[in-house]
A and B are shown apart, each in its own frame.
Chain A
Amino acid sequence: MTTTSARPAVTPPAGTRAEIPAKTLRTDRWWLEPALTVLGLTVWLAYGLVHIAMQRWYFAEGPGYSYLTPFYSPCVNNGCVPESAHFGRFVPDWPLIPYALLSLPFLLLFRLTCYYYRRAYYRSFWLSPPACAVPDGHKAYTGETRFPLIFQNLHRYVFYAAVVISLINTYDLILSFHGTEGFGFGLGNVVLGVNVVLLWAYTVSCHSCRHIMGGRLKHFSAHPIRYRAWTFISMLNTQHKELAWITLGTLALTDFYVMAVAADWISDLRFIN
């Protein structure tokens, strides 16, 4: 601190990198994770698109139950079965318009702009980079600074929409206990319930939610309740990746269960009525 040395002017030489011809020297199976991601997301998207395009087997009703799959909730198309349309029917019935027109685009955008899914598809579909210390497959790179990727910054808004959709899914769950002849309880309620709980966990563990609830504060000590909320969300947030994949699974599983009951491939296991 006290000695004063001569201070030569430093002009770092325009250096060159070490000449290593191999693009990557990694010897582990770094390609496995991006490959599995491509496989998982493609299979899920294909399944979802097929069932959404079918426009049938989305609502199963019996004496003690009425199950509506999350892929068709809220059902607002004129083609919807009247009992499944909890919020009215006002969208023209046309084969290319999904029955859940009001929710599906937002759900897709919520997952598309999600900080975890961004990591997943940038690495796998876009190869930018496919794995750490493996060169990315593009000549130029500007990240999320320009159109269209600058719109990733709107994640927060789709999060608000996702909260509304989670509320609608919860409402569907409550209605699912009620059939043509009154209250009932069956395996379908359990499937729908698990899905709703996990969807809430995924939605709440979102990085934007963590920021809104408390992360944006500078003084946690002045906001004890928001600090508690932030702590809770931070705990869930560490599992955001796992929740992202688990909810893809439960969404598909729930949808398939409702489809199977609606198509009479299986009958719903009843506990009460």
Chain B
Amino acid sequence: MGALRRFKVWRGDKAGGQLEDFKVEVNEGEVVLDILHRLQATQTPDLAVRWNCKAGKCGSCSMEVNGMPRLGCMTRMSTFAEDETVTVTPLRTFPVIRDLVTDVSFNYEKARDMPAFAPPSGVAPGEYRMQQVDVERSQEFRKCIECFLCQTTCHVVRDHDENKKAFAGPRYFIRAAELDMHPLDAKTDRKDFAHEQQGLGYCNITKCCTEVCPEHIKITDNAIIPMKERVVDNRYDPLVWLGRKIFRRDQLPAQAPAPHPVVAPRQPPPPRVGTHHIPLGVIWHKPQPDGLEAEVGPDGKMPLTEVTFDRAGAASPFGDNVTFPLPPDSLNYQHPKSDD
């Protein structure tokens, strides 16, 4: 039997609500989400709270504990004093549905606006080769669990709801950085997209996103600031512009950049000249199926979430009909034998 501790939990919906007081048992080793579950079991069976894995990996139980955005399952009760009242409220930045559950579709809309990975032309799926040093920056951002704590804590939208249209938020800046740093991504206008469509300039790097990230992703230092610097390269740096004008004309932006198709046209891989050793049995020009574009709704966009869609996640940039992993016998790859 643990001690009785004081809790304040916001109860209500979009019509209104208030903080309600509770006295609830707390045992050693418990987290805030455990206490909310005990409240559901003993005092408020209709308390709405979103949760899933209880291990800090699904990003569902985002809430505000004593005013700070946190994961309920990763906030230990031992971090509070025994006589402290713990206040639990829903994420402030998003519209409330009921009690601690908010409507986070703002994030899904911003995710849908983000152009997906653009497959490089001339390299078929299964032929991609990348070195670890080239992908490790992007890999840090893949740790994101989409709890949207960074989105809710960012004052650009938290304190100024009117900026939601222009500002995508830290979670999508790391996505932009992940793809812009990706060694095989074929899209070249990601910096412009971050600047013009995502509102990167609204960020004033006060680093709250980094402070609240439960995955400890260095959002500001490793994604937002590098993206800001990449935008400076493109837009504000006459030295870079002059250098490109003189030495690297190929890097100058085209007069009218063509929008990248959702599915890149597949071309046969270039002939390999002077390959050191081609293992027997590999057919380099194996035909690859052309991907089909995903179905879109009447608004010309994909459905927003997996609740209203037949799959979790966005459409595949490789085509709607290509499933992964590809069957191994159709890959243009043969693992080198140890005696080679």
Contact = CB atoms under 8 A, between A and B. Distances in A.
B68 A238 contact: no
A42 B229 CA distance: 29
A3 B228 contact: no
Interface stretch (B35-43, B296-304, B330-338): B296-304
Contacts of B109: 12
A13 B133 CA distance: 44
Contacts of A1: 310-311, 323
B275 interface: no
B20 interface: no
A77 to B, nearest CB: 30
Interface residues of B, number: 76
A18 B89 CA distance: 8
Given A135-B159, A218-B183, A219-B183, A19 B16 contact: yes
B303 A10 contact: yes
B94 A207 contact: no
B44 interface: no
A158 B179 CA distance: 29
A177 B285 CA distance: 70
Nearest to A20: B89
Interface size range of chain A in the complex: 35 or more
A39 interface: no
Contact of B225 (A13, A16, A207): A207
Contacts of B19: 20
Interface string A122-148: 110000110011111000111111000
Contacts of B17: 18-19
Given A3-B310, A19-B16, A144-B204, A9 B298 contact: yes
Interface in B87-111: 87, 89-90, 92-97, 102-103, 105, 109
Interface string B230-258: 11110111000000000000000000000
B206 A119 contact: yes
Interface stretch (B54-62, B195-203, B266-274, B276-284): B195-203
Nearest to A215: B226
Interface of B: 10, 12, 14, 16-19, 64, 66-69, 84, 87, 89-90, 92-97, 102-103, 105, 109, 131, 133-134, 153, 155-156, 158-161, 163, 180-183, 199, 201-208, 211-212, 221, 225-226, 228-233, 235-237, 295, 297-299, 303-305, 308-311, 323
Interface of A: 1, 3-5, 7-10, 12-20, 24-28, 115, 118-119, 122-123, 128-129, 132-136, 140-145, 149-150, 153-156, 207-208, 210-211, 215-216, 218-221, 227, 237-238
